């Protein structure tokens, strides 16, 4: 079963708006990762946040992690049509077990 | 452009055919992965190779046979597939097999497989 569950399953916003996606997971983790997948393409790694970090930024991306609630959020600010994609969180219960991907959020940014 | 190259991009095969999917990376990564992805679903792990040795097989049917000829190449041999095996097959790599879940993975763009 998936370790992570994204919410919402689908999100549609206007260009320029912010998009927020959430991920909840079940077991303790060492880190949580976010990936983007454009239609018909492979996954692209966006950001990795470690369990002792609470917030991380990369360009227009802001990721938070709340280990007490076993949840993370991905915020994309000033969204663009090119941000249209599926976004997956991925976790690993321990360092040497492979990643398990959540169900993903499908983001549509309308120009 | 991705640093993990998969060929072919598309493959249509009958249930009695034998074909192979190929994956190549030149980043010096020593962990390589095969995933299966159905439409609107997350990738599902099939196999992991660590230092060119099969380290994880997620109970994949024997009609899928992985091979890692060297540290840069990963193959997936297909034989007697079923229609439900139609999916996007993704290859990925990461740097250190000792910390599989603690590092980013780099994905290829996949092979879109259709079984007739």
Q: Residue A88 has what pLDDT?
A: 97
Interval B69-107: pLDDT, tens: 999 999 999 999 999 999 999 999 999 998 888 999 999
Name the residue in chain B with its Cα closest to that of A2.
Answer: B42
Scan for tokens 């938070």, then name that residue.
Answer: A64
Cα–Cα distances in Å, from A12 out to A50, A54, A103, B99? 29, 27, 17, 36
Q: Is B49 on the interface with A (CB under 8 A)?
A: no
Give the DSSP letter string of A47-91.
EEEETT-SEEEETTEEEEEETTTTEEEEEE-S--GGG-EEEEEEE
Mean pLDDT computed over every residue of chain A: 93
Interval A13-54: pLDDT, tens: 999 999 999 999 998 898 999 999 999 999 999 999 999 999
**Minimum distance, in Å, between the CA of residue B14 and any CA atom of chain A:** 22
Q: Does the pLDDT value for residue B46 go beyond 60?
A: yes
**Minimum distance, in Å, between the CA of residue A95 and any CA atom of chain B:** 5
Name the residue in chain A with its Cα closest to that of B99.
Answer: A96
B1 pLDDT band (50/70/90 cuts)? low
Name the residue in chain B with its Cα closest to that of A42.
Answer: B109
Strands annotated E in B1-116 = 4-7, 10-13, 18-25, 31-37, 44-50, 53-57, 64-70, 73-79, 87-94, 106-107, 111-115
Q: Does the pLDDT value for residue A1 go beyond 50?
A: no
Q: Which whole number is the average pLDDT over B5-20?
A: 96
Q: Is B28 on the interface with A (CB under 8 A)?
A: no
């Amino acid at each position: 079963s998936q370790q992570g569950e994204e919410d919402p399953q689908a999100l549609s916003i206007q260009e320029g708006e912010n998009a927020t996606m959430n991920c909840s997971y079940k077991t303790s983790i060492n880190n949580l990762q976010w990936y983007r997948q454009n239609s018909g393409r492979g996954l692209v790694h966006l950001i990795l946040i470690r369990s002792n970090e609470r917030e991380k930024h990369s360009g227009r991306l802001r990721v938070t992690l709340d280990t007490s609630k076993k949840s993370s959020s991905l915020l994309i600010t000033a969204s663009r049509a090119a941000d249209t994609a599926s976004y997956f969180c991925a976790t690993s219960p321990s360092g040497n077990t492979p990643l398990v991907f959540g169900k993903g959020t499908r983001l549509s940014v309308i120009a | 452009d991705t640093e993990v190259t998969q060929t072919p991009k598309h493959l249509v095969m009958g249930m009695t055919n034998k074909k192979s999917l190929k994956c190549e990376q030149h980043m010096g990564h020593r962990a390589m992965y095969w995933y299966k992805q159905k439409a609107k679903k997350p990738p599902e792990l099939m196999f992991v190779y660590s230092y060119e040795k099969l380290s994880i097989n997620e109970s994949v049917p024997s009609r899928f046979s992985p091979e890692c000829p060297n540290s840069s190449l990963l193959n997936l041999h297909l034989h007697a597939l079923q229609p439900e095996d139609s999916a996007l097959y993704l290859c990925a790599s990461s740097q250190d097999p000792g910390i599989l879940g603690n590092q980013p993975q780099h994905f290829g763009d996949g092979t879109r497989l259709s079984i007739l």
